[in-house]
Structure 1
């Protein structure tokens, strides 16, 4: 990935020793191509993406196909806006980055300047004591190509990237299209097992028996091993990029799986994808599903960006993580929407526009987009959202104690403890802690509270009562029941 015209396809062309770039309109990649390079120490498959949107679109659909991102930066141009976007997309995916500093053959090339520009983006060269591999290369002369491949294999070794060739094949759809002469054609990346001609494949809501496999060189092959990318003929339709495929043993299972998936797809079609919104943050945290608020922030000018990030970063979030997965200057784009969808983030805009196509994409992906005209209102909205994320403060008050005198087995009720209130009051809505000796046996809620035969809300000190506790509890005569009022108090940001 990288900025347009920084030489991504030309670099790949140099690696493959085949003129891919000349086939692409204007030297810019027009679709995702998957290309394989077999080396003495291993195999590397490159996904040549037409911008980071395609990379993130796959991730938004649940496809994790990338082990390492090669960030291509031109040594003469340096870091550009799309370079920063590519970095943010890779970071959001949690994928390690190897930097290829391209075009070092040019007189104006300055690799050191590129390293300096990348440092603020948390990409510190190993040469400068950091952990990011940066390799100066030239797609034109081939300089540094061998070292780049060597570093990629080293990274793969450190990540312990392995596959099992003995299991049934599975992997991911990289792209798919419908042709007039050959029908549906899909590019599949094999991630486990060996895919063979004649295999029965289920992918998304489609199935089919593979009639032909074509590798990245245009040659027909009989099988494809893990990490191989192949064009496949034989599917009944055009699957969606990012769909997983699986080899299944028979037609009956294939039909059953397809029917189940078609039913689920029909149910999902009535609703947009469920992403995080500012309105539902409190509910999500209450359900234990969220501890971090991720933001894509786009503003009108650099000064606004600095002011807003400073204001938001200065909020005392009490341990709730606030993450800017991407910040930038300019109108909202489809790339912003895809990044937010893949990362379950909220898009925040300040004095920026939004093209109708972006609005449509946001609705289709279920992404929450908020555009503000006043900084105070923006910060206040985020502050309110984060307060919904904060763990509430627990305030406990001892209401009273009761001693268990006898236990009674009551039909349809269970065990009822005959008690005397020795201190304070016992309330029906209290939380009860069972104390035996010096230790606590358990903590439960009260299922029922009776005075003689009457149901009551509370019992005062000195009175006898019957207490039924919820669930199966270990209760004995002589136990002490402590009644506590437990309040959860919402915390505010300071």
Structure 2
């Protein structure tokens, strides 16, 4: 369970060893409303959108600035629908929320969701009307819709601060930072630097060279290299600490995001960590129950199955991909996840895929050449993607490929037999009139006699005045070459149709 940072610190404010600390600010809002661009405008060396594929945030990110001698930490969250849990974590570890809204587009689905998370976390918010450089920018039109969500800005008689910004032109940035400082001062944020270090895991991963590492947000104490820390499911000795730019540091203070090496396995995102006096005590603090394994689907008879192995760069990515896949229609093709974990794709994944007839899907991973060669030798497909929705679309495509072709009958024509010219076991040549529609050769027919269907037939050829023709249309008198086990008679009706084979939908 994720613990709200503001609620924790509220209990310990005004204690003898407390010192002021900087605010943790979560940046929330709908996709493409400029959250990451806004952070880049605050500090140009963040370069967030350049790092993410397509300029789309797909991880939770933690950044830090110093303004007038005081630190401010920012938590950037993805706006995509799939990353709901990540956005909620961002709100729950923050002291202040920035609700970023495109001032031309207004309140959208993920805006409303962000408001729900902010209310649930019980933290103050600042509304940021972004993209004032965009045609149609009009915050006054947006404010009534915010009011419907119980968000009243000051100009509407409420207490919520709002700022107009242009991340593109870096306008309103100083006013925004001033608003953050004002709210932080009113919150009277404090922490005890002498307490045992504790905080929240906001992201984790597994590096093939360095092992498990995690991004932590310290809430209390001072975290130093060599410290022994543990969550409910992972523990270890801090072997290295790095700030948000990857620079090695010797200690981290409350509100500071820090990347840590030394965990035995990647800790779960959202888990709380604490420092312990020894590795034995840290290990004893672990919970005995196992993490929830990927859901194994109970497949009903007649349903196709697609076995997959999912490997991702971060636990947050794994969570988001699994969330989308679990919500895909599986009435016709069931997804069975044989393995889902963080880390590089390796030979063990290929072996499992071979034995389980599975496809390996990787997200934001590079597969080394020996593994690719091994996969080709074993006939195993590996598909890697940089954008989450491209991965999901490929899974959907492979699921569709597993479906049998669906047959659709298309009615074409009715033909009445008036003459019998030649009848053998292989071919019957008849003459007659096209009553309705039109048709070509190589189509199918049902034989109707006295208003009952008595058999099937195939139209092998069409002739008019002893010449082959390509098509017969309504009203024409024409000769047919027919293949049928039924011995045709005069006045029989041929109900002519074709069968189209198409891939079904999920």
Match of 1:31, SS?
coil
1:31 corresponds to 2:59: yes
Indicate how the Cα distance of structure 1 residues 237 and 138 shifts in structure 2: closer, same or farther if over 3 A, else same.
same
1:65 maps to: 93
Indicate how the Cα distance of structure 1 residues 150 and 239 shifts in structure 2: closer, same or farther if over 3 A, else same.
same
- Aligned with 1:164 (options 173, 186, 192): 192
- Aligned with 2:146 (options 91, 115, 118): 118
2:36 maps to: 9
Contact 1:203 1:244 in 2 (8 A): yes
Indicate how the Cα distance of structure 1 residues 357 and 71 shifts in structure 2: closer, same or farther if over 3 A, else same.
farther
How far is 1:177 from its partner? 0.8
How far is 1:269 from its partner? 6.1
Deviations 1:403-435 (A, max 9, x none): xxxxxxxxxxxxxxxxxxxxxxxxxxxxxxxxx
Mapped partners of 2:264, 2:158: distance in 1: 50
Structure 1: which 5+ residue stretches go unaligned?
273-333, 339-353, 361-494
Match of 1:253, SS?
helix
Contact 2:202 2:216 in 1 (8 A): yes
1:177 corresponds to 2:205: yes
1:140 maps to: 168
Contact 2:191 2:254 in 1 (8 A): yes
Q: Which has the larger radius of gyration?
A: 2
Contact 2:237 2:279 in 1 (8 A): no
How far is 1:67 from its partner? 1.7
1:209 maps to: 237
Indicate how the Cα distance of structure 1 residues 126 and 176 shifts in structure 2: closer, same or farther if over 3 A, else same.
same
Mapped partners of 2:234, 2:138: distance in 1: 50
Match of 1:149, SS?
helix
Deviations 1:217-237 (A, max 9, x none): 121111111111011111111
- Aligned with 2:221 (options 181, 193, 201): 193
1:86 maps to: 114
1:97 maps to: 125
Mapped partners of 1:78, 1:178: distance in 2: 39
Contact 2:235 2:282 in 1 (8 A): yes
Mapped partners of 2:251, 2:135: distance in 1: 46
Match of 1:163, SS?
strand
Indicate how the Cα distance of structure 1 residues 11 and 117 shifts in structure 2: closer, same or farther if over 3 A, else same.
same
Mapped partners of 1:58, 1:86: distance in 2: 11
2:369 maps to: none
1:22 corresponds to 2:50: yes
Count of residues paired in the alignment: 280
2:159 maps to: 131
Indicate how the Cα distance of structure 1 residues 53 and 250 shifts in structure 2: closer, same or farther if over 3 A, else same.
farther
Which 10-residue stretch deviates more, 248-257 or 214-223? 248-257
Deviations 1:19-76 (A, max 9, x none): 2211211121011111111222532211111138788636988993122221110112
Contact 2:152 2:159 in 1 (8 A): yes
Mapped partners of 1:141, 1:63: distance in 2: 27
Deviations 1:349-390 (A, max 9, x none): xxxxx6458999xxxxxxxxxxxxxxxxxxxxxxxxxxxxxx
Contact 2:236 2:263 in 1 (8 A): yes
Match of 1:117, SS?
helix
Mapped partners of 1:128, 1:189: distance in 2: 35
Match of 1:77, SS?
coil
Mapped partners of 1:157, 1:52: distance in 2: 32
Mapped partners of 2:181, 2:229: distance in 1: 30
Mapped partners of 2:212, 2:154: distance in 1: 46
Deviations 1:285-339 (A, max 9, x none): xxxxxxxxxxxxxxxxxxxxxxxxxxxxxxxxxxxxxxxxxxxxxxxxx99x99x
Indicate how the Cα distance of structure 1 residues 69 and 199 shifts in structure 2: closer, same or farther if over 3 A, else same.
same
Mapped partners of 1:188, 1:52: distance in 2: 23
Indicate how the Cα distance of structure 1 residues 232 and 88 shifts in structure 2: closer, same or farther if over 3 A, else same.
same
Mapped partners of 1:112, 1:63: distance in 2: 26
Contact 1:62 1:242 in 2 (8 A): no
Mapped partners of 2:69, 2:82: distance in 1: 29
Contact 1:63 1:242 in 2 (8 A): no
Mapped partners of 1:147, 1:62: distance in 2: 23
TM-score (norm 1): 0.52
Match of 1:26, SS?
helix
Indicate how the Cα distance of structure 1 residues 94 and 63 shifts in structure 2: closer, same or farther if over 3 A, else same.
closer
How far is 1:205 from its partner? 2.1
Mapped partners of 1:147, 1:119: distance in 2: 23
Contact 1:99 1:135 in 2 (8 A): yes
Match of 2:37, SS?
helix
Indicate how the Cα distance of structure 1 residues 87 and 171 shifts in structure 2: closer, same or farther if over 3 A, else same.
same
State how 1:460-475 maps to structure 2 within 5 Å. Answer: none
Mapped partners of 2:87, 2:130: distance in 1: 27
Mapped partners of 1:217, 1:183: distance in 2: 19
How far is 1:80 from its partner? 1.9
Indicate how the Cα distance of structure 1 residues 178 and 65 shifts in structure 2: closer, same or farther if over 3 A, else same.
same
Deviations 1:6-31 (A, max 9, x none): 10110011112222211211121011
Match of 2:111, SS?
helix
